[in-house]
Amino acid sequence: VSDYEPWKPDPLSEPWRAALDEVWLKYCTDHYPNGVCAVFGFSKNGQISLTACIEGHTYQPKNYCNGKWRSVWSVVFEGSGSRAELKGVIKAQVHYYEDGNVQFFSSKDIQKQITISNEKQTAEEMRRLVEEAESEYQTAVSDNYRTMSETTFKALRRALPVIQQKLDWNRLTVRPFVSQSCAQLRHNFSTSASRQRVENVLIIGGGLMGSGIAQSCATSGKFNTITLQDVNQKQLEISRKGIESSVQKLHSKKLINIESVDKAVNSIHFTQKIEPKADKNLLIVEAIPELLDAKQKIFANLSQQFKGNDSVIFVTNTSSLSVQEIGVNVEAQERYGGLHFFNPVPLMRLVEIIKNVTTSQQTVDALKEFVADIQKVSVLCKDTPGFIVNRLLIPYSGEAVKMVERGDASFQDVDTAMKLGAGYPMGPFELMDMTGLDTGKFITDAWAKRKDSSLPEMTESKLVNKLVSEGRLGRKSGKGCVFGLILILVFIYETNCGSNETTIKGCEGKVCSDGKRCVCQNPCPPTCRNPKPNPCNTFWCNPNCYLVCDGREVLDEKTGRCKPLNEC
């Protein structure tokens, strides 16, 4: 190695290099917090050459994912007043290595024309062109990774023997890796000056949805502060226990990658009061029950409490109400929109982003980034009733309920038909149990009252109304359609026949039709006396009028008690 020689600035290129270096350093600091940059300059035969480099990276060993970003930009010109060609090459790499190795490479060559003026203006123009090009490229890469099809995954698996042998492509921890990788790129290699990344999260409402959102934020490890607010201290205690239990289960099944359960749970601040802070890049998620007046009041207060903080984004988590109507009291309409999470939040990967007519693109971009940070997939929708999923799902579920009410088929057969015939992972009644019968009822009732020709015709369901009035909401209450100890979804049309008697429509002769339950009061009405039950029917009239078995049991005539159906 020869002795080092002192560096001497090139007198012709140095003023241009220094001006670009100042602009480049700020650009890199703003958009590549984990990266480095450098600017080089020299001249030859009166021509000036400038080269600017960027390198950014993220290493996430606990998530089995690394990413790199590199770009090199160069321009050669003869002095002010001339036109020159700006040349650049961008390279992005994502490496996923849980139980195997998958590496994605992407690169692009770019050429743009630039006008050479003075040193400062030329540096600013070069920065603008680079920012524009990198932003477009990064968005394209992100969209490609996010929309990569299952066919592509399987093709990769066949092409990579190690992956084929070791990687279960259906595992929850593996399937999101593309969106996780995309999130790493978007977080660390943000290339838009106007892009805002959520750093702090405040969730209003400690119920099922609010606690689920808080849990997803906590297990992502991406945020400085996470606050869950509810006016009811008992509800906060329930939320904390529920989050702790859920995180423990997911952690034990290796469905999430976290250092410890306690650390994830303790990262959430539980409080009864909304404490206005000057937190930068704060996202406020309203997740209280679906009551329009209450939601509007919440946002009226929030808008005043956080007035002056221009980095706050306000969103409502609603499944049925108009996002525009909810946020009518929000002053900063450009920083207001909707996020529709699905229950159960920790497991459901989809989030619908609702763009109001006044929502800015900067806010939409920040919400997309937030959804990616919590390792979920976002879709964008206008403020239309039901958004995407419920607009299609509610009519589907409603028709299934009507079929059971009419006696066309039992709810078990409807679920089986849709799973085996249509290829759905669960039937409509199983799905209603998981999402909550009260949620579906609220949406259906709201649609039934709306005078909107674009909506399918909806009518209130007596079946669902009865279940909800009895507190049988599905998994959230332990009782519902197919969840819990008793199968409830058998609608009963009752007519009074006396002070101590009730007769049930649906019993044909002396045996209940499949899918109906005959419930009798003492003294028994004639329709239920001395039936001739088929013990292997799913539902049938109880000859004693006291004990009613569910769909998995039949009455043992010898003992007068229910016994498992498989013993028939």
Residues with a known catalytic role = 319, 340, 352, 390
Count of C-beta atoms within a 10 Å radius of residue 456 = 14
Q: Is the peptide bond before 428 cis (omega within 30 degrees of 0)?
A: no
Burial 474-491 (b: 16+ CB within 10 A, else e): bbbbebbbbbbeebbbbb
CA angle centred on 413, ends 412 and 418, rounded to 5°: 105
Would you give the end-to-end CA distance of the chain in angstroms? 90
CA-nearest of 374, 294, 365 to 342 is 374
* CB-neighbour burial class of residue 451 (10 A; exposed 0-12, middle 13-18, buried 19+): exposed
Q: How far apart (Å, rounded) are the C-alpha atoms in residues 205 and 211?
A: 8
DSSP code at position 357: T
Q: How far apart (Å, rounded) are the C-alpha atoms in residues 405 and 466?
A: 12
Structure tokens at 194: 């106007």
Are 457 and 466 a contacting pair, CB within 8 Å? Answer: no
- At position 424, the amino acid (one-letter code) is Y
Helix (H, G, I), strand (E, B) or coil at 563: strand
Structure tokens at 483: 């969840």
- The residues near 524 (Cβ < 8 Å, ≥ 6 apart) are 501, 545
- At position 357, the amino acid (one-letter code) is V
Structure tokens at 404: 């059971």
CA-nearest of 482, 477, 462 to 413 is 482
Are 54 and 71 a contacting pair, CB within 8 Å? Answer: yes
User: What are the DSSP calls for 486-520, one per residue?
Assistant: S------EEEEEETTEEEEETEETTEEPTT-----
Token pair 């079946």: residue: 463
Q: How far apart (Å, rounded) are the C-alpha atoms in residues 53 and 38?
A: 5
Helices (H), 71-176: 119-146, 150-159, 161-166
Distances from the Cα of 17 to the Cαs of 53, 541, 555, in angstroms? 12, 90, 90
Q: How far apart (Å, rounded) are the C-alpha atoms in residues 332 and 320?
A: 23
Helix (H, G, I), strand (E, B) or coil at 164: helix
- At position 196, the amino acid (one-letter code) is Q
Are 322 and 382 a contacting pair, CB within 8 Å? Answer: no
